Amino acid sequence: MKEVKHYICEICNTEYNERQKAIDCEKNHCKPLEIIEAKYISLAQNMKGYPTSISVKMADGTIQIYKRS
């Protein structure tokens, strides 16, 4: 029987054979800190009420905009 050891990035769940690669992957992910703004459209255009886009402040200080598809 063989013992197989692998490592998984806890942020994106990618599997690696090498521990350092999983550590590097985890360190590479820039985490969101807070939602800065959410944009909405009227009830007539969007009955569910979800935002059409959100602006998120990231750990590195940048603001990223995510749009609904």
Burial pattern 16-52, b for ≥16 Cβ within 10 A else e, equals eeeeeebeebeeeeeeeeeeeeeeeeeeeeeeeeebe
What's the whole-model pTM score?
Answer: 0.74
By percentage, how much of the chain surpasses pLDDT 70? 100
Helix (H) or strand (E) holding 28: helix 19-28
Provide the residue type at 6 as one letter: H
DSSP state of 58: E
- Condensed to tens digits (0 to 9), the pLDDT of residues 15-38 reads 999 999 999 999 999 999 999 999
Domain definitions of the chain by residue range: 1-29, 31-69
